[in-house]
Structure 1
Amino acid sequence: MSTSSTVDRAFRAALYATTDDALDAGASLLAVDPAADAELARRGEEFVATAWRRGWQPADVVRIVRRELEDVHLRLVTGLIHAQAPHDRPRGPRWTAQLDALGEPGTAPPPRTDRFSHATAVLELYRLLLRLPALEPLDEAAAEAAGAAGPDARDRRPESRMLGRIRALLAKAEATGFPEEAEALTAKAQELMARHSVDEALLAVRAHAATVPGACRIGVEAPYEQTKAVLLDEIADANHCRAVWNEPLGFSTVVGFDADLEAVELLYTSLLVQAGTAMTKAEAAQKRVGRKRTKTFRQSFLAAYAHRVGARLAAAAEGRTSGLSDDLLPVLASRDVAVTERLDRLFPETTTTRLRGVSDVAGWEEGARAADNAQVEARRRLG
């Protein structure tokens, strides 16, 4: 019997059924035929390549595997992604960064296990990959942007030192135990983000570059994913981006120009950390005075935090544009139009959702107070 025949029989038994008995039958076939291992791995690389054709990206696949399965499956899919990468076409710097974030292949040895258990894990992973729905193909937008910018675009846009400064400021804001210091550090980081965005817009104009918006997916993880999605939406709006939340798959797609996408990712990650720290302190204070706080308190806290931070970001954005020169305002306006058009092409139909579970007054008040401490207005206008 050929190795391909063994794999085909195992797949017929296990991949298109959902019962444990079917999974056991497929795993048994693979476990007794070590010669089929190479073919089984090759089929896995094909599943990964199919996921790319259906609009998924490395970070998306890793995120869904982490959410739906276990660590062993995460190690397996990481290995498959690394193995498939040399056979893939070039997909741009954001894709490369996602591959780099997986770490070097083979750095962590897999746990010792029997062949049946290994085959079971492989089939469970392949079941998930087989059932991935089609997503919007974001790498096509990235390829279009790269083509519009020209072959020397990467030389014009080296890794910015300013991004390193922004990351360092936000890391300090997350680590400090003093709200006023966190406020000052976050405000400075937002100021640098604004300057970075304006600089990129000016660079595109001066170089006569026909740049187009890109897009990225940002994980919006449980718990309290709805309020986290609201926070991300507020941050995106204030930074000339637009966000669409996919609740079933646990991410939001953010559309915008590269510098603004970087700002949204950095600020969202940092404010989530700051909000979590503030919420823990607020809950401890509530418990000290004998008040029990539950999921409703935390949901209300995060909702107020998102609402207040969004208002402050919007005010800061308005202050920045009022200080810009008249010749730059039409450029920024045209970029906003381009972002909206890209969003409409990616998502011709969207719906709104109502925020649920926001009924705890104390949680709302504490969340608003925490957002005040994490204010992000720039302290001087950009001109």
Structure 2
Amino acid sequence: MRNLKLNIEGSWWDSLLYKGHLHLFGTDGSISVFAWETLVSELAQSIAGAEKALRFAFSESNAVYRSTMNVEDVRRCFDELPATEFDISSKELAKYRVSQADSGFPFPHATSSFHYDRMIVATSRGIFGSHYNTNTQDRSEVVRLSPVGANQAWPAYGNVAVAAGNAGLYQIDIRVQDREWPKEQEGDHLSARTCEACDWMFGNIIGMSFEEGSVLARFRTRSLNDRTSPDGADAFQSDDREADINWQRSFSSVDRLEEVVRSKFDPSDRKPLTWGSQDKLYKVEGKNLVVYRLLYNGKLQFIGKLDLPANLTNLVSVKTSLFGLVFEFDDSLLVLTSDGQAHALDGEPVNWRVFPRSRRYENHLHVLGETSLAIYSFNQDVEQDQFKKLIGTRAPANWSE
């Protein structure tokens, strides 16, 4: 399946896609909201035969995993495209602007995300939140949820995982069942180890550290079979992947991952580099990347090993998504897709992000440059065996329905 790229002219600090709208944070502290679904639809209509491929690539990527979908037909849609790269000028983009206002968040921020119609933003001054009206695209007044300065805030299961640098790893309960935000709090301090980044492995939280060693905060999950989304909406319509996951959690323990996955390849004076997301944990062993699966019983199972696509000595960060792994270096990005192919993206980005918890945009990589936003659509994953692939998270089983 061909990979596609959409270039959008303009200069922004950050981007978010949520429930059919593109949110762009300006370098002046503003935020603009654009009708993304309409933009993609009208772009597709302007190119003969492009409607299905562009819809799958940029606005409904989960559709290609449905059991009723013929992969050969989908591949043909992509193969028949006259090009793999498309452009939207700033003038064209302006036609789709729904609103523009001051964001209300401290600028510059570290990360932004949505969770159950709540915008969560991590900054050096703490974690901030704002309720979002999906009908009007209006937001409530910004409130500070936590005074803990953070490199990253990553919400899931009604909580926010916080990578707080030297302060360690935290979790904040944002009480999604309530209409009001909880009182400002530091939250649960899960680990004192330096934490550069965090992610979710089902209901567990992984805190990544380059020097001190990564940790896995484990939680017990209780099944709630009759659970619906907090606002009573049909869970299928939610853009949060956890919307149909039973999620009541209670803290269990914190594992030091170097003790769990240690091998003869690990130098005695340095903790191995490990990170994970959803069903998989990755560990660097020399020139190899070792892959483990997190089982439902909480155990880690070795499932394979592959050659590293590059020397990670100058690695700045790494993120996992459905389509693969994204490595950030000082002046480039390297994407290792789930089919084992490496894609080099030269040039230092202003910012970049993936959408691993989305239902519709999980194949996106957004790279923000000085003069444009490049949206890469990686589409090879549907051709991979989701239970056997080593690279990237597994597509949810209910996507085949």
TM range (shorter): under 0.3
In terms of fraction of residues, the more strand-rich structure is 2
More helix as a share of residues: 1
